[in-house]
Structure 1
Amino acid sequence: MTESVWFHVDMDAFYASVEQLDNPAYRDKPVIVGGLGNRGVVSACSYEARAFGVHSALPMYRARKLCPQAIYVRPRMERYSEMSQEVIALLKEFSPTVQQISIDEAFLDMTGTERLYGKPRQAAMLLKNRIKNELGLTLSVGIGASRFIAKMASGYDKPDGLCRISVGNEQWFIDTIGLKKLFGIGEATLATLKHHSITTPAQVREFSLEHLKSLLGESGGLYLYQACRGIDPGVHTGITKSRSISTENTFSTDLDNEEELFRHLLNMSHDVMFRALQEGLYSSTVAIKVRFSDFTTVSAQRALDHPLYSGEQIYEVAKELLRSRWRPPKKVRLLGVGLYAVTEEGPPIQQELFDDPYRRKGELEKAVLSLRSKGRSIQKASLLEEDEK
């Protein structure tokens, strides 16, 4: 049986690297991309800027204090998207199966390509050299027998790195990187494990699946049980266009009015739903992100047992999540909402779903999307401000 070979390609400091590529004077200098106002945040930064402690999501005013000599530029999303498409086009020359999961990341199924490009490490070097020579960008490549291992391997030797984890060495690799760098393990899970004196993958493996489920829930326990053994938990299965669809809004003035925050949440929920419809994607998991005036950030998500069909469904779940994380008079600086674990695989058709009011609303939103695609200006009344109605 042919051994599976997956590459995970991760472009190095992508936005900042594109800026350095287009502006030779920026090369080898700290470059910071993001909103330039006092309330802006860092979207991306070059490795030269990271040496000063700058990182993505850092408030821009703090970045200026850490690295005042940096070159500050606004994001040029159209240009980054253009370069991303060129990278993906080149990747498709190496494999018919390319799964783009973000603007600067993709998986390649390289199984059975050894006769064309040589052994995996040789093929990865060929790919890296072509992207560097033809597009002027560097990237890091992780190689493994699963997407899960390849994803973590690509981050092991950045920037411009190459890391292959051979079959049989997965558990050793998991022990080497530790729980904090284990993909899919967040701060809440780490805190729970630490509370029970579990701080390493090896310690996790000492517990039974049933015990881990009792600590982290059914899905969380199973995920950790598999992940710490180097077994792919299947987090990328079926995800071929995007692992998430999200949007966020940084307010010009911090908000503490519930009605106003809910209006923003409703607008963003419909925006996310329309984008999912445009891409033909499905999800049953809603997440929110809230950043307060003191820059502390919290998040929450909820997985439903049925697919989401409308923006109003997303809104209702997001509203509950927001209420669980925020209470006035605490002021909100940023609010975001998104769909996670998105997939192209549609939900099974069941007769009772045809009477579901949310599904009918979903059909309405598809009709609105169709009109928009034909150049018609149309917006749901619930999204209009009072003076527009």
Structure 2
Amino acid sequence: MQPVIFHVDMDAFYAAIEVLDHPEYKGKCLIIGGLSKRSVVSTASYEARTFGVHSAMPMTQALRLCPHALVVKPRMERYSQMSGKVMEILRQFSSDVMQISIDEAFLDMSGTNRLFGLPRQAGERLKAEVHAQTGLTISVGIGPSRFIAKMASDYDKPNGLCRVSPGKEQAFIDAVGLKKLWGVGKVTQTMLAKHHITTTEELRSYSETTLENLFGRSMGHFLYLAGRGIDPGIFKEESKSHSISTETTFIEDVTTKDVLEQTLLAMSHEIMFRALEEKQMGRTIALKLRFPDFTTTSIQITPQSNLYSAEQIYHYALQMLQQKWQEGTPLRLIGLGLHQLYSGDRPLQEELFADPYEKKRKLEQVVLQLQKQGKSVCKATNLKSVEE
């Protein structure tokens, strides 16, 4: 049986939800983020993207590119709640759903023809169901591997559907081109160009040994496989019952602390609200960093105190970042995860004295319930990185 993998990407997710809740925003250049000098863009509507605005861009730069944009503060609780609705729909189509961020997931649709039709038909049904139940559009990529499905979902955005049949991987890679090959950013493109590699066909003319000699073992191995349309194993399966994680691959390598801090802040809220939705608590926090040469490092911490709040996760995430990253060092990917999960709203080991973070968890639960009822409410926080 040939594997059939779907990659679902929610189109401009944060911005789409703001338009859904505020129809007057429709058609406008919308940027989700704060307004302080240290702010970065969380996401932007497609109207704003035509001006060159993208996620993780400093807000000051974004507003220079698009000075007439409307800036809206992010509402992670609302986004998490809508993400949960979409994931529920995905699980109606597949028992094997791998959520990799608040707005992305893989589905293993192998052998589901009798239930949902051929892959393209199943993709159309999935898109229609998500739109009918949430009002949101998604792009679906279909391929024989996660790597190909991931790129296919980006091929025809927004509201796209692209299927790459088995045996057509190299042809698809060539159609996408080296500049849009997943994982090959501007820095890598510059390095390749120095060796006169500007197309995927030219990339395939080099042996794996040569590429590893030129670019190092990790990058060389990745380029050898990616140029042939072979999944390099970037998206590895994690036990769904033991972790809730998210990761962000930056459009451009990030070297500044402010961007990473605010990315981790959003991630901390994302995974905590996902944990609240799923009625899970965790014992361990893990941080993953990937550098431009594709080397990856990770670190985890299991605090003695119970993990109640997004602010706790963020606190420990910053500690781990300080241990593993030096400001100015380029990063291409950052990931954050909550591991060793167990079901329930109460910790396995009760505290002798009241934990102040427990009150914050209760507040987050209240906010999440209000969001489910369609009420617009934001959770206040005293973190310095959050914009006033």
TM-score by length of 2: 0.70
Contact 2:41 2:58 (8 Å CA) reproduced:
yes
1:98-145 deviations in Å (ceiling 9; x for gaps): 100000000000001110111011111111111111100011000001
How big is the shift at 1:181? 1.6
- Tell me the residue number matched to 1:363: none
Q: Which amino acid aligns with 2:49?
A: R
Deviations 1:26-73 (A, max 9, x none): 122222211023442221111122233332233333433443443321
- The structural deviation recorded for 1:91 is 0.5
Aligned position for 2:379: none
- Relative contact order (alpha carbons < 8 A, sep ≥ 6): 1 or 2 greater? 2
Identity %: 46
**1:322 is the counterpart of 2:315:** no
Q: Cα offset for 1:376?
A: 2.0
TM-superposed deviation, 1:216: 2.1
Q: 1:93 is paired with a residue of what secondary structure?
A: helix
Matched residue, 1:242: 245
Other-structure match for 2:129: 130
- What is the letter of the counterpart of residue 70 of structure 1? A
Unaligned runs of 5+ in 2: 250-255, 304-315, 342-346, 358-388
Distance verdict in 2 for CA 1:52–1:193, change over 3 Å: closer
Given that 1:41 and 1:57 are in contact with CA atoms closer than 8 Å, whether structure 2 keeps it comes out as yes
Per-residue displacement from partner, 1:180-201 (whole Å, max 9, x unpaired)? 2222223333232221111111
Q: Are 2:47 and 1:48 equivalent residues in the alignment?
A: yes
Alignment pair present for 1:22 and 2:21: yes
Q: From the superposition, tell whether residues 324 and 132 of structure 1 become closer, same or farther in structure 2 (CA, over 3 Å).
A: closer
2:111 maps to what in 1? 112
* CA distance in structure 2 between the partners assigned to 1:74 and 1:307 by the alignment: 30
- Mapping for residues 212-223 of structure 1, pairs under 5 Å: 212-223=211-222
Query: Where does residue 184 of structure 1 map in the other structure?
Result: 183
Matched, 1:157 2:156: yes
**Alpha carbons of structure 1 residues 106 and 301: separation in structure 2 relative to 1, 3 Å:** same
SS at match of 1:322: coil
Give the secondary structure class of the aligned counterpart of 2:42.
strand
Question: Structure 1 residue 220: deviation in Å?
Answer: 1.9
* 2:129 matches 1:140: no
Offset from partner CA, 1:140-166 (integer Å, 9 cap, x none)? 000001011000000000000000011
Q: Highest CA radius of gyration, 1 or 2?
A: 1
What is the aligned residue count?
A: 320
Task: State the Cα distance separating 1:339 from its structure 2 match.
Answer: 4.7
Task: Tell me if structure 2 keeps the 8 A contact 1:141–1:161.
Answer: yes
Matched, 1:376 2:380: no
Deviation at 1:223, TM superposition (A): 1.5
Partner of 2:6: 7
SS of the residue 1:242 aligns to:
strand
> Alpha-carbon deviation of 1:318?
4.5
CA contact (8 A) 1:5 1:144 kept: yes
Which residue identity does 2:97 align to in structure 1? V
Q: Over aligned residue pairs, what C-alpha RMSD do you find?
A: 4.1
TM-score, normalized by length of structure 1?
0.70
